[in-house]
């Protein structure tokens, strides 16, 4: 299994939307390499004929009757919001300068 | 019996409340006083709701006086891990990103506590988003083990375990994704149960890894866990992975086990969960407990589960993958922290800055690991492979349970280590969950019961009992039998020395 480089960690942090500082990248990259090296031991343990398990117990999709039940009031739903405007979540601009 | 109500079990308090020997207000106040006295050094609680708990206690007493208690545990106070949503009480998950968040709804298990009349003392400390085995990854400071304040209380639910061990609460709720109830139970000398996956609702539990998380009881006795498990368990239409069938009779199983008779029970010792790296004092106590099970009439054999040696690696691919997806919801838009890196920053820039400021080291490690395991080109090699090995681990359990009724092992390879000792060595930290992780991967139930103190350091050791899915009652029967036999040997429960708490 490949070692994970500092650049790769920076790329993954970008995908995960976390601004990592240089110090954090220096710190995390070697630790992640060690973890990956240790989890790589499972490659080859299961043959091609072994089916994957996503859930331990068998699941079937669950539906409920389409009836109205009480939900959160707008005030409750917005109670934890960083910013609220006209009974809506107020968010930073979505488009960049170039768009 | 002692008149110090904090020293009583939940079952004893329930009986005393029913007999009119004490009021819920008195019992709740006694626990609040205890919290005020010892929680400075222990730091089991992130939030104490004295006013709310006393108001709930007064209501409970009024119901009792009117002859209409809601439940056997009506009036018995409880602490709740801070990963469960509590209407009107802060819920931080041990993270700065949720600092000050007050949920507008209750988790189903919390709603069940309220409906049964249990006063909620407060919210307990935990590793951030339940990632850790020591509670040191809490953004609000570590919890300290009541047996030795310089040592870890286990994790992620170290707060709940320490609260119960230090007599700050008779009952607590925990959550167990890879051992976060059982391992803290082991290192604090308390009882912890991970129910069958789907046996207790996850609605309102802030998910770490959906396919592994389970809410369960944290107590000082097996019977108390059974009482609490029966209260919180059962089908919940709000959790699509909730099992739609009744729980087995758990309290009855605990009472049956307490007779100390295990005739006809077949117990399997898991070969792979011993050997190098297992502390000598842990293995000695484990073997003593096994001998007691034999004395109680159980038949004990050794059973091999060869794939268990790969459980840790499997877990550390599946868990980060699920966690990285789950934690994507902390995006600074609808709740929690919002950090502006510059005036007029875009939503994405705000998101990046917020997640950097709001998440701690371990959370970042796991998010990046999960992002890697799920990324194109690596998915098959990592996540896909881990899912296949997960199948093999479940098959090992199936084969083992064809031979025996329960499987046993030490709960954790060592006793509580020193705070700070493994903080910057993720692999050493992960190894604490070696024995507890297989049960989460396969969805089977497990209990950790105190097995005594290790000779070399005088610290608690845990004995783990695992049963097939839906057969949680077997954990309670065997656990209660072992507990009864050990208590007889010790002449009473082992409790942390009071002088260590200051």
pLDDT digits (tens, 9 = 90+) for B373-414: 998 888 888 899 999 999 999 999 999 999 999 999 999 999
pTM for the full predicted model: 0.97
The reported pLDDT for the residue numbered A60 is 80
pLDDT band at A56 (very low <50, low <70, confident <90, very high): confident
B147 within a domain of the structure (yes/no): yes
pLDDT band at B120 (very low <50, low <70, confident <90, very high): very high
Does residue B462 carry a pLDDT above 70?
yes
Does residue A99 carry a pLDDT above 70?
no
CATH number of the domain where residue B153 is located: 3.90.1300.10
8 Å CB contact of B385 and A45: yes
Report yes or no: B189 and B165 within 8 Å, Cβ to Cβ.
Answer: yes
Chain B interface test: which of A6, A56, A59 (most B C-beta within 10 Å): A56
B469 within a domain of the structure (yes/no): no
Looking at residues B424-434, what average pLDDT do you find? 89
Cα separation of the two ends of chain B = 25
Domains of chain A: 6-41 (1.10.20)
Does residue B459 carry a pLDDT above 70?
yes
Looking at residues B305-329, what average pLDDT do you find? 96
Distance, in Å, from the CA atom of B220 to the CA atom of B468, rounded to the nearest integer, reads: 24
Report yes or no: B69 and B111 within 8 Å, Cβ to Cβ.
Answer: no
Task: Return mean pLDDT, chain A.
Answer: 89
Looking at residues B333-348, what average pLDDT do you find? 95
Report yes or no: B181 and B218 within 8 Å, Cβ to Cβ.
Answer: yes
The reported pLDDT for the residue numbered A98 is 56
B335 touches chain A (CB under 8 A): yes
Tens-digit pLDDT profile for residues B148-175: 999 999 999 999 999 999 999 999 999 9
Q: Which burial class, exposed, middle or buried, applies to A19 when counting CB atoms under 10 A from its CB (0-12, 13-18, 19+)?
A: middle
Contacts with A58 from chain B: Cβ below 8 Å: none
Task: Return mean pLDDT, chain B.
Answer: 96
Domain of B489, in residue numbers: 5-258+445-460+475-501
Active site residue B266: no
Distance, in Å, from the CA atom of B132 to the CA atom of B177, rounded to the nearest integer, reads: 10
A60 touches chain B (CB under 8 A): no
Give me the sheet containing B299-303, strands edge to edge.
Answer: B45-48, B120-124, B78-81, B171-175, B215-219, B191-194, B446-453, B460-466, B406-410, B266-270, B299-303
Residues with Cβ within 8 Å of residue B166, at least 6 apart in sequence: B34, B38, B39, B42, B44, B146, B496, B501
Looking at residues B86-98, what average pLDDT do you find? 98
B433 within a domain of the structure (yes/no): no
B77 within a domain of the structure (yes/no): yes
Chain B interface test: which of A3, A21, A45 (most B C-beta within 10 Å): A45
- E strands along B82-166, which residues? 120-124
Number of domains in chain B: 1
pLDDT over 90 percentage in chain B: 94
Does residue A13 carry a pLDDT above 70?
yes
Measured on CA atoms in the order B183, B186, B187, B190, is the torsion positive or negative? positive
B309 within a domain of the structure (yes/no): no
The reported pLDDT for the residue numbered A95 is 82
The reported pLDDT for the residue numbered B480 is 98
- E strands along B114-209, which residues? 120-124, 171-175, 191-194
Give CA angle at B20 (B19, B22), nearest 5°.
115
The reported pLDDT for the residue numbered A2 is 58
The reported pLDDT for the residue numbered B94 is 98
Looking at residues B416-438, what average pLDDT do you find? 92
Report yes or no: B42 and B168 within 8 Å, Cβ to Cβ.
Answer: yes
The reported pLDDT for the residue numbered B376 is 82
Q: Which burial class, exposed, middle or buried, applies to B286 when counting CB atoms under 10 A from its CB (0-12, 13-18, 19+)?
A: buried
B377 within a domain of the structure (yes/no): no
Nearest CB among A28, A45, A82 relative to B332 is that of: A82
8 Å CB contact of A80 and B353: no
Does residue A40 carry a pLDDT above 90?
no
Residues with Cβ within 8 Å of residue A70, at least 6 apart in sequence: none
The reported pLDDT for the residue numbered B213 is 97
B426 within a domain of the structure (yes/no): no
Question: Which of B196, B160, B264, B220 minimizes the C-alpha distance to B483?
Answer: B220
Tens-digit pLDDT profile for residues B474-493: 999 999 999 999 999 999 99
* Partners of residue B233 on adjacent β-strands: B200
The reported pLDDT for the residue numbered B4 is 95
Pairing between β-strand B266-270 and β-strand B299-303 as defined by DSSP bridges = parallel
């Amino acid at each position: 299994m490949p070692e994970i480089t500092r650049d790769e960690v920076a790329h993954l942090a970008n995908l995960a939307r976390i601004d990592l500082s240089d110090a954090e990248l220096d710190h995390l990259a070697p630790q992640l390499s060690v973890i990956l090296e240790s989890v790589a031991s499972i490659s080859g343990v299961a043959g091609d004929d072994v089916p994957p398990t996503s859930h331990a117990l068998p699941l079937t999709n669950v539906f409920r009757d389409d009836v109205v039940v009480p939900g959160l009031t707008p005030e409750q739903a917005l109670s934890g919001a960083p910013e609220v405007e006209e009974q809506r979540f107020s968010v930073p601009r979505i488009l960049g300068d170039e768009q | 019996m002692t008149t110090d109500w904090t020293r009583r079990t939940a079952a004893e308090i329930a009986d005393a409340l029913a007999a009119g020997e004490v009021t819920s207000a008195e019992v709740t106040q006694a626990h609040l006083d205890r919290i005020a006295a010892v929680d400075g050094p222990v730091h089991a609680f992130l939030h104490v709701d004295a006013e709310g708990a006393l108001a709930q206690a007064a209501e409970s007493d009024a119901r009792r006086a009117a002859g209409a208690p809601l439940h056997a545990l009506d009036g018995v106070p409880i602490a709740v891990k801070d990963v469960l949503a509590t209407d009107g009480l802060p819920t931080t998950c041990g993270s700065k990103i949720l600092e000050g968040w007050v949920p507008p709804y209750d988790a189903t298990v919390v709603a069940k506590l309220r409906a049964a009349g249990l006063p909620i003392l407060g919210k307990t400390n935990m590793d951030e988003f339940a990632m850790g085995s020591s509670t040191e990854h809490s953004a609000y400071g570590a919890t300290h083990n009541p047996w030795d304040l310089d040592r870890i209380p286990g994790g992620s639910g170290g707060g709940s375990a320490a609260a119960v061990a230090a007599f700050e609460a008779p009952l607590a709720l925990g959550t167990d994704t890879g051992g976060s109830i059982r391992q803290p139970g082991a290192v604090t000398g308390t009882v912890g149960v991970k129910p069958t996956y789907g046996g207790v609702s996850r609605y309102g539990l802030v998910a770490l890894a959906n396919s592994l998380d389970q809410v369960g009881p944290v107590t000082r006795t097996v019977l108390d866990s059974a009482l609490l498990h029966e209260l919180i368990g059962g089908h919940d239409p709000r959790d699509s992975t909730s099992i739609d069938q009744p729980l087995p009779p758990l309290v009855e199983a605990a009472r049956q086990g307490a007779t100390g008779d295990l005739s006809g029970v077949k117990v399997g010792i898991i070969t792979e969960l011993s050997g190098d790296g297992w502390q000598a004092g842990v293995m000695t106590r484990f073997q003593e407990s096994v001998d007691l099970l034999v004395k109680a009439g159980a038949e004990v054999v050794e059973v091999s589960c060869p794939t268990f040696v790969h459980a840790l690696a499997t877990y550390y691919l599946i868990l980060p993958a699920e966690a990285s997806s789950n934690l994507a919801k902390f995006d600074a838009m609808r709740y929690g922290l919002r950090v502006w890196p510059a005036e007029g920053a875009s939503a994405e820039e705000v998101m990046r800055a917020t997640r950097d400021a709001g998440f701690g080291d371990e959370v970042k490690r796991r998010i990046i690991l999960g992002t890697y395991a799920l990324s194109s080109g690596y998915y098959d090699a990592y996540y896909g492979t881990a899912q296949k090995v997960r199948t093999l681990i479940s098959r090992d359990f199936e084969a083992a349970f064809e031979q025996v009724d329960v499987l046993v092992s030490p709960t954790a390879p060592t006793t509580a280590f020193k705070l700070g000792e493994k903080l910057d060595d993720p692999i050493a930290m992960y190894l604490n969950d070696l024995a507890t992780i297989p049960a989460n991967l396969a969805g089977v139930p497990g209990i950790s019961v105190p097995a005594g103190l290790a000779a070399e350091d005088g610290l608690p050791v845990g004995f783990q009992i695992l049963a097939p899915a839906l057969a949680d009652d077997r954990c309670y029967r065997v656990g209660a039998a072992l507990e009864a036999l050990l208590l007889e040997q010790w002449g009473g429960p082992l409790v942390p020395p009071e002088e260590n708490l200051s």
